[in-house]
Structure 1
Amino acid sequence: MRTQVIKKIDFSEQNLYIGLDVHKKSWQVTVLSEAICLKTFTSPPEPNSLFHFMECNFPGASYYSAYEAGFSGYATHRQLNALGIENIVVNPADIPRRDKDSHYKTDKSDSRMIAEALRAGLLKGIYVFDPESEGFRGLFRSRLALAKDIRRTKGRIKGFLAFKSISIPGEFIRNPKSSKYLNWLKGLDFQFPTARIQLDQLINNLLFLMEQRRMLEQKLRDTARKRDRHLFKILQTVPGIGPITAIGIMAEIGEIGRFKHFKQFASYVGLVPRLHQSGEKDQTGSITYRSNNYLRPLLIESAWQAVRADPAMLKYYQENCLKGNAKKAIVKVARKLLSKIMHVMRNRVKYERGIA
């Protein structure tokens, strides 16, 4: 009687590249070897399920995966790495795309593009915060969301008053945060009680949001001091940088050592111009659209304060105003301010005003 010999498939010493198109209810997965496409399938949105599939179908291989940064955050990234799948999270704008992919886009084509770019070595992972730093950053962004809700509520109150043809006194236009303004709103008389109820609802919403922001800001200050009291203090020596902006810088940047040079730092924040070079022509355009959407607006706002507080910054601003318009000049001031911030963070020294 002959004995049947079953030869087990072995992918040892092979590299497999996994492109993940991550969604809430499912993942589209493409698996490539060095030469061919091995499998394209739909997987449950669980790292353990993907790892089990790879171990059963392609045992012994080295697994490399990538997915786009988005709603899923970094939890999936950490779980994949813990299971032995070497994963990176990539900026969606950095994935090479063919022209036809913009006209015929599917989850399958997206996962394959990611896998192909990963295999070709064209992808570079973004910086992944540790869980504690990620929580700190999330807390700061929650504060920004609250501030946005407060502005919207104030706008609704102004819209309500305009609809009722009620003019806001000049003193309150200049200082809408004052308690006198709220008292004035509460003292308004209306012909029908429904209008009073509507305005009171808006005022209560505003007061609630402002209290939530106050409590959140206190927690942010406490967290910043606990994480790095000295850095939190010296950042506020930079003109235009207050406690909230200092917290934003700490939360959004994390470790300053991850930037090798200032140009890389400025590119991350989004304070670099667009550049188009062809042959002997070099065209410098407006500010890049790629930026940290939370940090860049704070730096621009801080730049306006810096020109009022620091003579060196004022001089730099005036010199650039002569070359172009004020908006371009203030962006240059913000870039210069960013270089000062990098110096303060790297050397952990106070900012000295009046030094060009």
Structure 2
Amino acid sequence: MEYFAGLDVSMEETHICILDREGALIREGKASSAPKAIAAFLVAGPPCSKVVFETGRMAPMLFHGLTELGVPVVCIESRQAYQALKSLAGHKTDRNDARGLAHLARTGFYKPTHVKSLSAHAIRALIAARKKLVGLRVTIDNQIRGLVVVFGVRLPRALSPAFKDAALKVSDGVPGLNAALRGLFAAREAILRAVAAIDSDIKLMTRKSAVCARLMTVPGVGPITALAFAAAIDDPKRFKRSRDVGAYLGLVPRRHQSGEVDYTGSISKRGDVRVRTMLYEAANVMLTRYAGPLKLKSWARAIGQRSTMRKARVALARRLAIILHAMMRDQTEFQVA
């Protein structure tokens, strides 16, 4: 007899349900949301051939922890599971969700999803922290501009040395404004130091990574883009075809077909927003700053002439995703010709 388990995970506790092949309830209960506690609960019951839970914040830790303990765990797409669970139970409770997930494991009606490695999540956390810090720096710069414009002064570029000097010069002899600006500049300098430290770590990582070194041979792809793309893909073999990466990152047009209606719209914007934005920026750099001859650049410019440059940048970003994945998979460098 085969047995199947469903895990409804929360921050503190995980509801667990074990069913047999016919759907009969064998065992259910709760355990703390830690791999060892969940594995201990499962070991106390019959051996399960599949243990299913949904994607979420706890998914990477639980998936890799349970896999190391020998539990045959499968992480499934939460959007599909949500629609299926609504039809299985009238009341949404953690207990019913665990039982519904066990039924999905029993019937095979689920879509398994790739769980990135913990090292990939660490890199993504580093890049996310940098983005947040840069956003805070821009917010402080705008706040400083708003404070001094009342006195009729327009400041130069924020990253130039004259920015701080011009702002503090306005505040001389104005006690309230001077104290406010010095406090903002103290916070701004701390953020700039933190960003510089993260940039140093990113450069060190890319120098040590052979994958990132290959990806950076593509014009417009810098250390941050290479590192973010490598972390997002994680395992290039999980994609059967390189062109699937464009859909994975939300760079393909949406399509709605029903009867006589067949509508193709703008890009789907699914997947990793940060990587998609970086690829778009890399495409823009290739089109506007790279001066050398490049067939890929000429191809995108031809699209821009037929349509718009925005669509050309999106198409080039999609093509870059395909090329970068192929380089990761085949361990090859970019050919400029």
Same structural fold, with TM-score higher than 0.5 when normalized by the shorter chain: yes
The match for 2:100 is: 113
Moved more, 100-109 or 90-99: 100-109
CA shift, 1:73, in A, is 4.2
Gaps (5+ residues) in structure 1?
1-12
Alignment counterpart, residue 41 of structure 2, candidates 29, 39, 53: 53
Identity of aligned residues (%): 24
Task: Find the counterpart in structure 1 of residue 123 from structure 2.
Answer: 136
| Alpha-carbon distance in structure 2 between the residues aligned to 1:317 and 1:104 | 52
Aligned to 2:62: 76
State the alpha-carbon separation in 1 of the partners of residues 90 and 3 from structure 2: 31
CA deviations 1:58-87 (Å, max 9, x no partner) are 33x224222222222422112222333211
Secondary structure at the aligned position of 1:187 is classed as helix
Q: In the alignment, which of 280, 298, 303 is matched to residue 315 of structure 1?
A: 298
SS at match of 1:20: strand
After superposition, where does 1:297-336 map in structure 2 within 5 Å? 297-308=277-288, 309=290, 311-336=294-319
Q: Is the 8 A contact 1:25 1:44 kept in 2?
A: yes
Contact 2:59 2:115 in 1 (8 A): no
Q: Whose Rg is larger?
A: 1
- Indicate the residue corresponding to 1:33 in structure 2: 20
Residue by residue, what CA displacement relative to the aligned partner does 1:150-201 show, whole Å, maximum 9, x if unpaired?
Answer: 2333233334345x354424xx2xx321112122223222664222111111
Query: CA distance change for structure 1 residues 27 and 346 in 2, over 3 Å: closer, same or farther?
Result: closer
Partner residue of 1:294 out of 274, 277, 289: 274
Task: Report the equivalent of 1:268.
Answer: 248
Aligned pairs for 1:99-248 (under 5 A) are 105-162=92-149, 164-169=150-155, 172=156, 175-189=157-171, 192-228=174-210, 231-248=211-228
Partners in 1 of 2:82 and 2:276 — Cα distance? 26
Residues of 2 paired with 1:137 and 1:110: CA distance? 30
1:256 to 212, 229, 236: 236
User: Which region of structure 1 is more displaced relative to structure 2, 32-41 or 295-304?
Assistant: 32-41
Counterpart Cα distance in 2 of 1:233 and 1:294: 20
Q: Distance in 1 between matches of 2:208 and 2:9?
A: 35
Please give the root-mean-square deviation of Cα atoms over the aligned residues, in Å: 2.8
Q: Is the 8 A contact 2:123 2:227 kept in 1?
A: no
Amino acid in structure 1 at the alignment position of 2:219:
P
Pick closer, same or farther for the CA change 1:326–1:112 going to 2, 3 Å: farther
Asked whether the 8 Å contact 2:202–2:223 carries over to 1, the reply is no
Equivalence for 1:65: 51
Is the contact between residue 140 and residue 188 of structure 2 (CA under 8 Å) also seen in structure 1?
Answer: yes
Amino acid at match of 1:78: H
State the partner residue of 1:343: 326
Change (3 A) 1:283 1:222: same
CA deviation map 1:122-144 (0-9, x unaligned): 33333233343433333233223
CA distance in 1, matches of 2:308, 2:119: 42
Name structure 2 gaps, 5 residues minimum: none
Distance 1:99 1:47, change over 3 A: closer
Alpha carbons 2:253, 2:265 under 8 Å: kept: yes
- 1:10 aligns with none
CA gap of 1:103–1:263, structure 2 versus 1, over 3 A, is: farther
Q: 1:105 to 1:198 in 2, by over 3 A?
A: farther
SS at match of 1:132: helix
In structure 1, the partner of 2:81 is 95
Letter in 2 for 1:108: R
TM-score by length of 2: 0.86
Partner of 2:178, secondary structure, is helix
Contact 1:29 1:41 in 2 (8 A): yes
1:65–1:85 CA contact under 8 A, matched in 2: yes
Greater shift in the superposed pair: 273-282 or 258-267: 273-282
* Conserved 8 A contact 2:304-2:312: yes
